[in-house]
Amino acid sequence: MKFTCLSKGGGFHFPPCHMLSVSGFRILLDCPLDLSSLAIFSPVPIALEAHESLETDSVVRKKQKIEKTLDANDLVCAEPWYKTVKSLHLWDASFIDVILISSPTGLLGLPFLTRTKDFSSKIYVTEAAARIGQLMMEDLVSMHMELRQFYGPEDSSFLQWMRWEGLEVLPSELKKIASGTDCEELGAWMPLYSAVDVKDCMRKVQTLKYAEEACYNGTLVIKAFSSGLEIGTCNWTINGPKRNIAYISSSIFVSTHAMDFNFLGLQGNDLIIFSDFSTLDTTENMENDNTYCDPVTSSNASDDLYNLEEIAASLLKDDESMEEMEKLAFICTCAFDSVRAGGSVLVPIDRLGIVLCLLEQMSLLLESSSLKVPIYIISSVAEELLAFTNIIPEWLCKQRQEKLFSGEPLFAHVKLIKERKIHVFPAVHSVELLTNWQEPCVVFCPHWSLRLGPVVHLLRYWCSDPNSLLILESGDDANLALLPFKPMAMKVLQCSFLSGISLQKVQPLLKALQPKLLLFPKDLRCKIQISEANTIIHYSENETLCMPSSKESTEIDIATDLASQFHWKTLKQETVTRLDGELFMDQGKHRLLSGFRQADSKQHRPLLHWGSPDLKRLLTELSKMGITGTLKKNMDSAESKNAAGIIDIDDPEKALIDVRETGTVIITADENLASHIFKAIDIVLDGI
């Protein structure tokens, strides 16, 4: 088995990406897009400035002049390209056998692969992740179209900014995003796929339910188990004939909306690939403060937990989800304060679950007050996405499922839309929006990068209003994200949400799962000390690890009804039999089952003999069958006493048996006689 981490990703929107090689099959785990790098591009300029800034040459000149601080003019003013996983393009897509997608965000880069020539991988995605991912891609394409309309049809020449001169004039901050530290990431940039590519990609996807068994090529049994991060996100188990693997992506034990992390489903696998990098992002700031690492030793509480139930119970303590709910409540009160002061609230958060929960809480809060503030959702796919979330009880957490059983809608937005408290529009310029528009208001819209979509227009509109509030998910560089909108009078609230397994739960989780071998990110090594007895291998980006297989030989299951029909033969120490039936490969198991062949068509005949026949015994056996013959010693019989000679048979028919050291030839014109002689030789020889 081989494992290569292609990218450790970056936060919720850019999950990690790995390449795995099991039982001779190459498996790609996730295929995301690094959308945070969109920050180097300038959003659509305001109409007035449009003309001057379009002149790329002047922009370049301008950039050369400015030396020091970054400002809006430094951003690349061109139709944006999109950054894929940096080393994925070094692999030949046609050699990938299986692609496993664990979240909607892990799907976003897939059309780049599926549109390549000779692409033939089997893609497994959970049903919900596939649908949500598809909508996200469609939205991305439609938002990009808006920019494209502005920049006009792409000119055939190579992009200005990507040329060497272009890169040279980029400020170092942007250059690092564009090309990486050693310019190795430049090849990862791609122009966006088209709506047709998305459709084509989705056609190639095979959707799965949670815990549905998918059997690839009869060899690998692949199953998805809920990870709790978002609706439809999952962890995988891959069971092959020689190894059982569990892949753990970013997971949340108790979710406020999605089905909880089903870690019990991952039990019984000898190898675990731990790929939850979420703690890396959250603790980065802390690290800056105190430079030396302070590993979380899990001595507190979890050490004295030994049985599985106790561990499970401690993992499922929903203190985290309580904290998340409090966070949401805080956001809602901030938003409420803002609208009460007459300002509007802009929420460009693209985490479906968070948005759905915010919608519920926010409208509850507004309802309880006398304020009549409308909530707008502006996105080309919002209507479909909201409708979709209400027909998937199977993918939601227990509390939401209870709503199904009591006949209530799964999420409150259905009712709120009907009551016209929430309004859904496909775009900022839709007629319904213009006629319904009312301020102050609360607007949910994409895109979190602040470079695409309705958020750009609304942010421009409100950025100078000190009463308005922007609620952002804290990302890599909020400063860069807000750059085009500066100076900003608008208030900004940055919040981070739980997006993975918290540090202190990693240890008990691994204790519950008991892997023999653990693949763990090197970057997290100093944060967590894993004191388990099992072997740990640390991995880092672009380093291929080889692991010997745990089982030596392959096992075959032989159906007992078939085995009972075998013709056994006892040799010196062992009993042997020739196999029969048909060999099947199914669910990673070799199985020998009785075939459909009729038994009479093939009478049992040994096909392989060894040893040397005793000629005297042979003569007696023949005479028992009523065949008489005389033994003629061969002329050159010096080599062996009884192993060579010719038996001359004249009754019932004329025949010869020519016996030599390494073989016997039966010479006869009669079928019956031939088979009798064969039987006689078979008796005196060992054979199978």
Partner 1 sequence: MAIDCLVLGAGQEVGKSCMVVSINGKRIMFDCGMHMGYTDSRRYPDFSLISKTGDFDNALTCVIVTHFHLDHIGALPYFTEVCGYKGPIYMTYPTKALAPLMLEDYRKNMDRRGEDEQFTSDHIAECMKKVIPVDLKQTVQVDKDLQIRAYYAGHVIGAAMFYAKVGDAAMVYTGDYNMTPDRHLGAAQIDRLQLDLLITESTYATTIRDSRYGREREFLKAVHNCVAAGGKVLIPTFALGRAQELCILLEDYWERMNLKVPIYFSAGLTIQANMYYKMLINWTSQKIKETYATHNAFDFKNVRNFDRSLINAPGPCVLFATPGMIVGGFSLEVFMQWAPSENNLVTLPGYCVAGTIGHKLMSGKPTKIDLDKDTQINVRCQIHQLSFSPHTDAKGIMDLVKFLSPKHAILVHGEKPKMATLKERIQSELGIQCYCPANNETVTIPSTHYVKADASGTFIRSCLNPNFKFSTHSSTDKSYLDSNKSKAVSRLSVSDDRATEGILVVEKGKKAKVIHQDEILHMLGEKKHEIQFAYCIPMPMARTEDLSSTSHMLCGFDKSTLISRLSMILSDELSEGNILDLGEELQVESFRVSVCSSDNCPHRLSSSLQNGSESVFFCCNWSVADEKLAWKIISIMKNSTL
- Residue count at the site for partner 1 (CB under 8 A)? 85
CB of 387 to partner 1, least distance (A): 5
For residues 196-215, which are near partner 1 according to CB under 8 A? 208-213
Q: How many CA atoms lie within 13 A of 421 on its CB side?
A: 18
For residues 570-609, which are near partner 1 according to CB under 8 A? 571, 573-583, 586, 590-593, 595, 597, 605-609
Here the tokens at position 650 are 């004249």
For residues 629-658, which are near partner 1 according to CB under 8 A? 654-656, 658
Write each residue from 303 to 342 as x if it is in contact with partner 1 (CB under 8 A), else as -, in one continuous string: ----------------------------------------
For residues 19 and 97, the answer to whether their CB atoms sit within 8 Å is no
The nearer residue to partner 1, 328 or 416, going by C-beta atoms, is 416
The nearer residue to partner 1, 523 or 682, going by C-beta atoms, is 682
CB of 433 to partner 1, least distance (A): 19
The nearer residue to partner 1, 484 or 613, going by C-beta atoms, is 613
Among 305, 488, 674, 683, binds partner 1 (CB under 8 A): 674
Strand ranges inside 72-114, DSSP E: 82-84, 98-101
Alpha carbon 406 to chain centroid, angstroms: 34
Write each residue from 409 to 438 as x if it is in contact with partner 1 (CB under 8 A), else as -, in one continuous string: xx----------------------------
In order of 234, 296, 320, 331, the CA distances from 328 in angstroms are 24, 27, 13, 5
Q: Which amino acid is at 218?
A: G
For residues 265-304, which are near partner 1 according to CB under 8 A? 265
- The span of 100-108, 137-145, 176-184, 660-668 binding partner 1 (CB under 8 A) equals 660-668
Among 119, 150, 497, 678, binds partner 1 (CB under 8 A): 678
Q: How many CA atoms lie within 13 A of 470 on its CB side?
A: 28
Buried b (16+ CB within 10 A) or exposed e, 630-658: ebeebeeeeeeeebbbbbebeeeeebebe
Closest CA to 396 of 414, 415, 413, 410: 410
CB of 300 to partner 1, least distance (A): 32
Write each residue from 349 to 388 as x if it is in contact with partner 1 (CB under 8 A), else as -, in one continuous string: ----------------------------------xx--xx
Residues 6+ apart with CB under 8 A from 437: none
For residues 497-536, which are near partner 1 according to CB under 8 A? none
CB of 351 to partner 1, least distance (A): 21
Q: Give the separation between CA 349 and CA 583, rounded to whole angstroms.
A: 54
In order of 69, 77, 171, 590, the CA distances from 167 in angstroms are 17, 13, 8, 56
The nearer residue to partner 1, 21 or 668, going by C-beta atoms, is 668
Alpha carbon 676 to chain centroid, angstroms: 64
Q: Give the separation between CA 589 and CA 587, rounded to whole angstroms.
A: 5
For residues 38-97, which are near partner 1 according to CB under 8 A? none
The nearer residue to partner 1, 190 or 674, going by C-beta atoms, is 674
The nearer residue to partner 1, 75 or 392, going by C-beta atoms, is 392
CB of 636 to partner 1, least distance (A): 14
CB of 604 to partner 1, least distance (A): 10
SS3 of 402-445: the string is HHHHCCCCCCCHHHHHHCCCEEEECCCCCHHHHHHCCCCCEEEC
Strand ranges inside 139-202, DSSP E: 189-190
For residues 97-136, which are near partner 1 according to CB under 8 A? none
CB of 488 to partner 1, least distance (A): 36
Among 296, 537, 668, 683, binds partner 1 (CB under 8 A): 668
Asked if 391 interacts with partner 1 (CB under 8 A), we say yes
47 CB-contact burial (10 Å; exposed 0-12 / middle 13-18 / buried 19+):
exposed
CB of 560 to partner 1, least distance (A): 4
For residues 392-411, which are near partner 1 according to CB under 8 A? 392-394, 401, 404-405, 407-410
Parallel, antiparallel, or unpaired for β 2-7 and 17-22?
Answer: antiparallel
Alpha carbon 494 to chain centroid, angstroms: 29
Q: Give the separation between CA 33 and CA 145, rounded to whole angstroms.
A: 18
The nearer residue to partner 1, 148 or 654, going by C-beta atoms, is 654
For residues 545-564, which are near partner 1 according to CB under 8 A? 553-561, 563
For residues 445-464, which are near partner 1 according to CB under 8 A? none
